[in-house]
Structure 1
């Protein structure tokens, strides 16, 4: 009996409090997902946005309304108070798509808030009125208090959700759909309707640059990187000209200050000069490279952010994760269906209008209206008589005559009918028939009609909606390479400690807290550790420095004693990769092994050493020399070559060596504007002490070194190659003032690095058309278009002499918009040309 009572009690609790909590939570979760956080696929709107637009449509008279009034009107439909409505309204207004604004609506770039609702005004845009409203195709439901009707969804004839973007956090899920470009969405819809492939990518109001290589069609797991646009004003100043999506100028400045305070970057001052356009000025500290600072700003501040899209929408009253591609397809099909429904409604209205106009014509033309003058007992008899009079003409009509049709005819004033009135009715019927034919044609060719609809949207509303965000492939910036070395690292060679807190010991170097340090001890142990306060390496540290991963040029020369055999060995090796904090034995691993000699060589230098043997050994010659260049560079685990089997007293440097490595091979990656050693892009040559020459399209050149962290604007470069001061350059440029092309040949006579020098006449509109360092350049010039193209060749070396780099040059030909220039292949040099 007691068990039965306990079971009943447990059941009561489960169906009581616990059951209610379970049901309430599910109800709450469903409400948040469906009614607050996640947009509907049909119109791309959350409920609050839909209710705001509906309220604005009710208020619409073409004039601006106070936002406070719009909020009040919206509260009839939205039960969550004025604050949530006001925030949603401002958010939509700032997107500049569905709502025209007046007054201070804030700024998404700076994070400034909008003015109070009583001070700002809004109205529906013409685009909104065209794409979002049609009372006849709207499905309605009762509002939350039962007093009014509101739309279930708006009949949206445009992929609004992709244009505006959306973000929301619900219970157990979230959505983040990035905004896309208006023109590109229309173009994608047109391509989809035509059965063509299409791709759409994010576009942000704030501009900047976006890397969409991992966008993954906006699905979960995808990612985009967004960067601000940073330009070099001069060697001491940078200007940030845009902010990434979701970042404000104030938060960006804060992130720069924080990175500077943490020692990641080094700047003098940052100033926010944003007005009409974003302009954040960054003044560099003395001796700091602008290129490295730009990389550091991307690596350590909000100048670059990563966004993970997550397209979740309500489909069939359920949340669903889809791609933006599928989202556009659904929206386009929805638009096509709405256009079809509008055409069908229009066709019904036209057919009804044709029917009544035809009745009216017969009514007057056949004088049926005279039945109204006859003496009938009742009004029903009048209606019956008129209906009977129409019997001979019913074949001319497309449907039966209803009582309402006759009642409508009798309401017209009886007046004298002229022939002109009948002709007017005939014209009306003819016009209606033409409209009916057109609507029927559009229904039969619905896809073409939908394509024309999107093309019309572009024509009417596309101006000024061009893409703002540049799609670009970003290079990978390694934080270790660009972080400022502002940490002092100390070493105690005897005790075997390194660290930033050992200030009483010897200063090793300045580094960053992101660096790794490689250390070698007298016992032949190698270890790589992170920069820290204090780290034990091992007694008698021989050498320590910042470790560069994958460095194949730094070569270590070492001579050591094998403690087991007593034989001395020499080896040369690189260290390209390791496991941090692991000890590596560079000897044979025997006890009492020790290192006699050790050197680190950044370019593979191989020195000569003097070996002095123990005076008690049996060797005849107690002194000998050893040249490390006789050894091959092998892996760190190699034993090395035997040098001597007798006991060694000392090993000392006798002669510094030269590099045993060939010069460094460099390439120019024209995707990222970077120098590299990974064989990406254009091969520039083998470099030892040579520099690089860069010629820009504005008529300037610059000589620079081979530092890999430099950044170059690919779009401005017309020539980049290894610099040879003896080479003769041939250049053709536009003299915009005289409207002619000039040609010149010259040598680079300056030697200053990292400075721009202009070699053409400086004036607005002047630009370099072609430049080469070939010895016998032939310029091919094409003029005209289509079948009237004319081509000529110029042997430049025969046209002009070598002149000074500042010379204006000689006239080549008059300017023409149809001119195209290119250098002929070298094999064409021996062929005759038109102009020598």
Structure 2
């Protein structure tokens, strides 16, 4: 007998601590914190689902108390606290935590406000149809291994025979020892598409798989900014994915009080606590870290989420929203860490690796299921063959059984006399008398034939890998058809993601801005070309006191510069302006740009590329003009950039692009025009913070109406014309009134507010010195007392025009449809107008962008 001293084994403390801690760490990693890459489940989740399956809690059976399920799991499989088991069960039933919940809950299972669920004695649960079909089906067909439970009294599955990549479908999160996992949820339909593509082409890369699985699909919806973080996670296993809630700026109409603008939040990033978010915003407002918020209300109900952030009267909605994005969890990052157990070891997985591990597991599962079905079919067919032998020798076998002293003797004689196996002899002895009828005998023969065909088919499946892949694809297709739902999370273009622009078709676009500040973008092909003098069709919906203020055409990739009357310039990409239909008002421009309420956009210029050899020509209401290099506006801050200094009372009204050798034609409302070069002699380049020089000497009561640029390629033919800058006003008014003229282009298009227009050869506008009185550009119809010039543009025969009226009626027609006339003619009708309507603006349709015709190049 050994003594106590002899049983003590001296051990080095350092070695013992190291060994014990490693054992503990591995038990946490393998047995608690990390999911298995095959079925995507941690042990506690797997045990809960299996226990519910054993209890028969399928989707078509009544609910059972959660306390019953928790007790089953604790008593048989999971020797831990009941809180851990119940929390895991609750999470699998929460629609805001799981993209495709695995358990159907009945009762209070918590909320996005982080409200705790009711106690498990009150709540009830059962399995979702998806869990039964996609995770637990075939578990009794020897598809997976079983192991002893904690005390050896029960068997539990090591892994569930999953038919879907649950690891990616619902994601997973867990903290182990020295490592952690955080896998985002995905869309079932997209995962199936990616798996099918990988089955057909095993050489697909992670980036190519992103064509089928573009990114995570969070159960709470919201938005993902850019794809760079997604690409990092899918290719390297780790990445930071920027999530942003869905927030819109709306005007709240209040009875008996002025309307107020408010930010309405309808979706939040994944795992964001709504109640904590509202409290955070309130604290920031109280600490004066965010200005402009007057009230916060949670108006969420069973129909959806709605957080109303009411703004003060003088607040800038876009600025407030940007501050909320920066300082609150309305914009948050999801740190993806694709860590899971592969063959019992933690591995960092890429998108392709995670799908490939699942496919390999699915191939193994179907192989084992097929082997099980083959074995069962062969065993059954073996018995049927014995019954067929008995039916063929029926009289002799009946005689043998009747004369045998006992069943053991009969069994032995059957085996020896008819070369049968023990199971066959037992089956014959147990065969009922009714099976001896001719009909039953025929059924046995038919079953034998069917089993022979099934055995041959099962052997073929086991012999050919492509058959197994076809079965996987077919089962995936059934699951997709039955359980796939539309994507909830929208993946947006990010300014820092350079590849996003390449994914946008660079199509021709029409941009409208109304007097009350509503802006929208429409495809140019919305409006087909029409004949001259037609009424056109509606281009936008407006209030009665609203009208079209600005109107231009560009391409979706262009930078659009917005110039205000105060001389400040703002910038947006054309595609960032929301698209609207012909009958929509558009969105308030204050939602897109931080424009003060007392500031107004007066000119819009599209820019494809900021170069040093091109300039912006700026003309003010008071007649000052200046030229500034276009490259000076390449980096415009979010809150704008000063473009020109203005005298008191003056306003910036028109901005155009020009080159050094071009010339400029400026028109007045009373039909006068001046033409001079934009070279250094007439207009030297100036910096942004300058006022410019005088452009035109106007007659009393006249005002500037616009300007356009004449390319240098046609200026040379005008150089030899006499300069009429010194002509007096009487001489100008007495010029000959020619009705028609013929000339080669380009032309000066003059359109009046009354709907009349003409093309005048630019050669009739002699070059002058800046600050002259100009020449007559048009005369007006005698029956239109209030007619004035609406637009003055340089056009060619090939150009197409788009004209818009103050009521939003748009017509598209070829410039060649407008008759050429002299400067002193009154023009022809170009658009029929309703009473009290008038031409507001005219713009050229831009040339088609490269690659638009070939969609595969976009």
Same fold (TM over 0.5): yes
Which residue of the partner structure matches residue 382 of structure 1? 410
Which residue of the partner structure matches residue 651 of structure 1? none
Q: Distance in 1 between matches of 2:367 and 2:693?
A: 78
Which residue of the partner structure matches residue 771 of structure 2? none
> 1:287 and 2:290 equivalent?
no
Match of 1:93, SS state, is coil
1:26-37 to structure 2, matched below 5 A, reads: 26-37=22-33
Which residue of the partner structure matches residue 223 of structure 2? 209
Which residue of the partner structure matches residue 255 of structure 1? 280
Structure 1 pair 93–575 and aligned structure 2 pair: CA distance change class (3 A)? closer
Structure 1 pair 115–772 and aligned structure 2 pair: CA distance change class (3 A)? farther
Which residue of the partner structure matches residue 457 of structure 1? 479
Shift of 1:380: 4.4
Which residue of the partner structure matches residue 390 of structure 2? 363
Which residue of the partner structure matches residue 154 of structure 1? 160
Shift of 1:217: 3.5
Which residue of the partner structure matches residue 504 of structure 1? none
Q: Is the 8 A contact 2:38 2:165 kept in 1?
A: no
Select which of 290, 296, 306 maps to 2:333: 306
Q: Is the 8 A contact 1:223 1:307 kept in 2?
A: yes
Q: Distance in 2 between matches of 1:442 and 1:118?
A: 48
Shift of 1:472: 1.1
Shift of 1:245: 0.7
Deviations 1:409-434 (A, max 9, x none): 21223458222221121222233234
Q: Is the 8 A contact 1:745 1:802 kept in 2?
A: no
Which residue of the partner structure matches residue 344 of structure 2? 317
1:459-474 to structure 2, matched below 5 A, reads: 459-462=481-484, 465-474=485-494
Which structure is higher in RCO with an 8 Å CA cutoff and minimum separation 6? 2
Q: Is the 8 A contact 1:727 1:773 kept in 2?
A: no
Q: Distance in 2 between matches of 1:826 and 1:86?
A: 61
Q: Is the 8 A contact 1:371 1:386 kept in 2?
A: no
Q: Is the 8 A contact 2:387 2:427 kept in 1?
A: no
Structure 1 pair 417–13 and aligned structure 2 pair: CA distance change class (3 A)? closer
Which residue of the partner structure matches residue 70 of structure 2? 71
Match of 1:253, SS state, is helix
Shift of 1:271: 0.8
Structure 1 pair 747–427 and aligned structure 2 pair: CA distance change class (3 A)? same
Structure 1 pair 634–289 and aligned structure 2 pair: CA distance change class (3 A)? closer
Q: Distance in 1 between matches of 2:247 and 2:68?
A: 43
> 1:341 and 2:368 equivalent?
yes
Q: Is the 8 A contact 1:606 1:660 kept in 2?
A: no
Which residue of the partner structure matches residue 449 of structure 2? 430
Q: Distance in 2 between matches of 1:327 and 1:470?
A: 23
1:658-807 to structure 2, matched below 5 A, reads: 658-659=691-692, 726=791, 747-749=804-806, 759=808, 776=815, 801-803=832-834
Unaligned runs of 5+ in 1: 1-11, 392-400, 478-549, 553-573, 578-600, 608-628, 636-655, 666-723, 729-743, 750-757, 761-770, 779-796, 808-822, 828-836
Shift of 1:404: 2.4
Structure 1 pair 419–160 and aligned structure 2 pair: CA distance change class (3 A)? same
Which residue of the partner structure matches residue 404 of structure 1? 423
Q: Distance in 1 between matches of 2:478 and 2:333?
A: 36
Q: Distance in 1 between matches of 2:489 and 2:435?
A: 69
> 1:269 and 2:295 equivalent?
yes
Deviations 1:446-500 (A, max 9, x none): 11111111001112222xx2211111123469xxxxxxxxxxxxxxxxxxxxxxx
Q: Distance in 1 between matches of 2:352 and 2:434?
A: 62
1:510-659 to structure 2, matched below 5 A, reads: 602-603=642-643, 658-659=691-692
Structure 1 pair 772–165 and aligned structure 2 pair: CA distance change class (3 A)? farther
Structure 1 pair 130–661 and aligned structure 2 pair: CA distance change class (3 A)? farther
Which 10-residue stretch deviates more, 30-39 or 246-255?
A: 246-255
Match of 2:436, SS state, is coil
Q: Distance in 2 between matches of 1:776 and 1:118?
A: 79
Structure 1 pair 310–725 and aligned structure 2 pair: CA distance change class (3 A)? farther
Structure 1 pair 262–165 and aligned structure 2 pair: CA distance change class (3 A)? farther
Match of 2:156, SS state, is strand
Which residue of the partner structure matches residue 421 of structure 1? 440
Shift of 1:772: 6.5
Shift of 1:114: 1.8
Structure 1 pair 181–805 and aligned structure 2 pair: CA distance change class (3 A)? farther
Select which of 273, 296, 304 maps to 2:323: 296
Which residue of the partner structure matches residue 44 of structure 1? 40
Q: Distance in 1 between matches of 2:829 and 2:411?
A: 104
Select which of 182, 192, 197 maps to 2:188: 182
Shift of 1:759: 4.3
TM (norm. structure 1) is 0.57
- Taking only aligned residues, the RMSD between alpha carbons, in angstroms, comes to 4.3
Q: Distance in 2 between matches of 1:575 and 1:191?
A: 46
Structure 1 pair 602–238 and aligned structure 2 pair: CA distance change class (3 A)? closer
Deviations 1:195-223 (A, max 9, x none): 17422210001001113332124444411
Q: Distance in 1 between matches of 2:409 and 2:250?
A: 93
How many residue pairs match? The answer is 527
Select which of 101, 104, 109 maps to 2:105: 101
